[in-house]
Amino acid sequence: MKKHKLFTPGPTSIPEEVLLEMAKPIMHHRTEEFLKIAKEVFEGLKYLFQTKNDVFILASSGTGAMESSIVNLFSKSEKIIVINGGKFGERFVEIGKAYELNVVDIKVEWGKSLSKEELEKIIEENRDAKGVCVNLCETSTATHFDVKGYGEIISKYPDIVFIVDAISSLGAIPCYMDEWKIDCLLTGSQKAFMLPPGLSFISLSEKAWERVEKSNLPKYYFDLKKYKKSLEKFDFPFTIPVSLIVGLRKSIQIIKEYTLEKIWEEHKKRATATREGILAMGLSLLSSCPSDAVTGVILPEGINGDELIKFIRKTYGISIAGGQDKLKGKIVRISHLGWQDEFDVLTAITAVGVGLEKFGYKLNIEKGIEKAKEILFSH
């Protein structure tokens, strides 16, 4: 008997009560019954985003929300600064270039972060820039970026909007849209929201909406101005994924009951225990500024990460993620996102340890478990 557990940074495990909610007979999206649910969800999203602004739901993956941020906030050939520390920073660069923007590609070494002082210097060198894009957690390198600090800097520039991709981290680690002066915050459904993939979410500040009014980049499906007008008449500009919204209502209820603060604290504890456990085993971490959403583990020389992951999945039913692009085969990533508890940390690090042992690498699994246990159950 195998219990399949997901430690991938999306899709993540889904609570049974959410799965069953979505298995109920489907309803039409233009009914009072569904609109009542949608209103509850829209309110809940404001809590998750920690904002007074409206949050828009898109039927797309997180990448769609990233594209939406670019095509709605900018105009032809405008300059944007992208803090590019991995595959998802790179994605902002690619989207900007696809729309022929003037992209200042600030390459940050994978696994490293960028200080707010460094960002300030970059902005000063690019005073004609109209926006800064960053990932709160760069998922590919499991690295945290100082969104709070960047917001302090960027908000001093009235012509620059601040776009934050929090796809793999919103609801897992602190992120206050309004307080941190984020102009555009976006995320996806299949991470800390404990839902299947298929929805993304985006919210804009007043400063960002002023941009939307002026934006001349071509868009239709991702046009937020049109969406806003539809919502004013309590309608959606497209057929919204009804069952995912119904599931989202349940997820939001669960999150609200725990409170975000408690959920953030638990993610932090699980992430800390994972990192300390991994180090105690004798392995090392990828990131010098690790996120509490996901942990990147550097594999010993000679270990093929893809083979290791396959082995762990086939033998134990445990799914962890590998490296992407230049990190392919060289790391594994353990997600802490969403529906997990303390015991899941023991499961994940033990699976990695035992897997490595089977591949002939000697390490101290017991010490890792002991260290993690200490942190998880210390109070």
Q: Is 192 near a copy of itself (CB under 8 A)?
A: no
Specify the stretch interacting with a copy of itself by CB under 8 A; choose among 57-65, 128-136, 255-263, 289-297.
57-65
Contact between 242 and a copy of itself by CB under 8 A: the answer reads yes
Distant-in-sequence, close-in-space partners of 32: CB < 8 Å, separation ≥ 6: none
SS (H, E, C) 283-334: CEECCCCECCCEEEEECCCCCCHHHHHHHHHHHHCEEEEECCHHHCCCEEEE
Distances, alpha carbon 73 to alpha carbons 141, 162, 296, 306, in Å: 27, 10, 33, 39
Strand partners, 266: none
Looking at residue 140, the DSSP 8-state letter turns out to be T
DSSP for 151-208 reads HHHHTT-TT-EEEEE-TTTBTTB---TTTTT-SEEEEESSSTT---SS-EEEEE-HHH
Per-residue interface string for the shown chain with a copy of itself, residues 275-314, x marking contact by CB under 8 A: -----------------------------------x--x-
CB of 91 vs a copy of itself, minimal distance in Å: 9
Q: How far is CA 205 from CA 160, 196, 295, 378, in A?
A: 12, 27, 31, 41
Per rule CB under 8 A, is residue 315 in the interface with a copy of itself? no
Q: Which of 43, 98, 128, 328 binds a copy of itself (CB under 8 A)?
A: 98
Nearer to a copy of itself, 238 or 343 (CB): 238
Residue 160 and residue 175: Cα distance in Å, rounded?
A: 20
User: Contact region for a copy of itself (CB under 8 A) — 20-28, 263-271, 356-364, 371-379?
Assistant: 20-28
10 binds a copy of itself (CB under 8 A): yes
Pick from 40, 148, 155, 198 the residue near a copy of itself by CB under 8 A.
198
379 binds a copy of itself per the rule CB under 8 A: no
80, β-bridge pairs: 103, 131
Asked if residue 27 binds a copy of itself (CB under 8 A), the reply is: yes
The CB density around residue 300, as the number of other CB atoms within 10 Å, is: 14
What's the DSSP call for residue 25?
A: P
What does the block give as tokens for 141? 């390198």
How many angstroms separate the Cα of 227 from the Cα of each of 19, 60, 97, 220? 28, 14, 25, 10
62 binds a copy of itself (CB under 8 A): yes
Closer to a copy of itself by Cβ: residue 22 or 154: 22
Does residue 241 belong to the site contacting a copy of itself (CB under 8 A)? yes
State the Rg of the chain over Cα: 21
Out of 19, 212, 263, 279, the residue judged to bind a copy of itself by CB under 8 A: 19
Using CB under 8 A, which of the segments 5-13, 110-118, 128-136, 253-261 binds a copy of itself? 5-13
- HSE at residue 109, side-chain half, CA atoms within 13 A, is 6
Looking at the Cβ atoms of 26 and 43, the one nearer to a copy of itself is: 26
The C-alpha atoms of residue 141 and residue 298 are separated, in whole angstroms, by: 10
- For a copy of itself, which residue of 85, 151, 196, 368 counts as binding (CB under 8 A)? 196
Residues from 211 through 230 that contact a copy of itself (CB under 8 A) = 217-223
Q: Is 139 in the site for a copy of itself (CB under 8 A)?
A: no
Binding to a copy of itself by residue 56, rule CB under 8 A?
Answer: no
Note the residues at the interface with a copy of itself (CB under 8 A).
Answer: 4, 6, 8, 10-11, 13-14, 19-20, 22-29, 31-32, 59-64, 67, 94-95, 98-100, 188, 190, 196-199, 217-223, 237-244, 310, 313, 319, 321
